[in-house]
Amino acid sequence: MGPPRALPMTVPATGLPERVTIYEVGARDGLQNEATVVPVEIKAELLDRLADAGLGVLEATSFVHPRWVPQLADAAELLARLERRPGLDYPVLVPNERGLDRALAAGAVHVAIVASATETFAARNLNRTLDGQFAMFAPVAERARAAGLRVRGYVSMCFGDPWEGPVAPGQVAAVARRLVELGCGQLALGDTIGTGTPGHVEAVLDACVAVGVPIGRLAVHFHDTYGQALANTLAALRRGVTTVDASAGGLGGCPYAESATGNLATEDLVWMLDGLGVAHGVDLDALVATSTWMAAQLGRPSPSRVVRAMVPPVRG
């Protein structure tokens, strides 16, 4: 037998929340970027394994038109296969009212819409102007809430846009406020191309709070393109954020922004939270085993630093 695996020393830091909710996005934001379609039974098993590892919020799929995201064309079939466990949350993304219709028919109880913080990305991703996107989202949020569903709002390009460059915090805050006014119970601020740094994160969060969006309704969604995701997460936690998006094994990116690479790896986040003494409820060994299994299904190693450290490659 080899030596026992390394563990982070737990040294609690001041100014952090006692507990963080990890909003797992791998099955949706991760798999939507695969070049090939992952079979629905593999997706269902991935979600079951993630639930077994202790993750309580699992964004399952997207009801975007299959023409645009063929990797998730099996959304309704996937939801039908899932074992709905008590207390487990399976949000789904809906782009518009047609997507909401499909999600409602499939029994979804928590939906998410994706807005843009910039004019160019609104045009490219939504075929709307920055202002016009809200007219599209308003009936989605209203109908979802009337049906008893929870509504999350994503804001893309909060820290940088590949066409427009850096994004002013006040511009992000204005979009966030309008989404709250539409009825979004939670907002996830997305660093879609991964250019944010800790001070920028603090400025965006402060700008949102200044226009009346409570910090308790804000989540963060960081990409690790430039290696800043964990540092940015820590900055957000110090500002009072308690929900962090992450993707098992670091899967994912954005199919409409070529410079975007993978999401913050859930394992890397869990390692940091364990070291800080922040509760999260996830079994790291089970999570690493799940990401290692998923990497094998995809035929490539996981980009997660923690997965690679805990499961080193077999050398011939």
For domain 21-310, give the fold.
TIM Barrel (3.20.20)
What is the total residue count of the chain?
Answer: 316
Task: Supply the pLDDT for residue 7.
Answer: 87
Residue 125 has pLDDT above 90, yes or no: no
| Buried-state track 262-282, b at ≥16 Cβ within 10 A, e below 16 | bbbbbbbbbbbbbebebebeb
Q: Which pair of tokens denotes residue 178? A: 């309008």
What are the structure tokens assigned to 84, written together?
């709905």
Residue 260 has pLDDT above 80, yes or no: no
**Between 33 and 159, the higher pLDDT residue:** 159
Instruction: Give pLDDT, residue 254.
Output: 44
Residue type, 110: H
Per-residue pLDDT at 210 exceeds 60: yes
User: What residue spans define the domains of the chain?
Assistant: 21-310
pLDDT at 258 over 90: no
Least reliable range by pLDDT among 31-35, 48-52, 202-206: 31-35
pTM of the model: 0.94
Q: What CA–CA distance (Å, rounded) separates 77 from 80?
A: 5
Q: What is the mean pLDDT of residues 229-235?
A: 98
pLDDT, position 314: 55
Of 158, 184, 208, 254, catalytic: 254
Of 131, 132, 10, 28, which Cα lies nearest the Cα of 74? 28
pLDDT digits over 81-95, tens only?
Answer: 998 888 999 999 999
The residues pairing with 191 across neighbouring beta strands, listed in sequence order, are 222
Q: Which of 261, 203, 252 is nearest to 232 (CA)?
A: 203
Q: Which two tokens stand for residue 208?
A: 């949102």
pLDDT at 1 over 70: no
- Whole-number Å distance between alpha carbons of 159 and 171: 10
Q: Is residue 254 annotated as a catalytic residue, yes or no?
A: yes
Instruction: Using alpha carbons, select from 115, 114, 53 the residue that is nearest to residue 85.
Output: 53
Q: In whole angstroms, what is the distance from residue 51 CA to residue 282 CA?
A: 9
Round the average pLDDT of the chain to a whole number and report it.
93
Check whether 110 has a pLDDT greater than 60.
Answer: yes
Which amino acid, 23?
Answer: Y
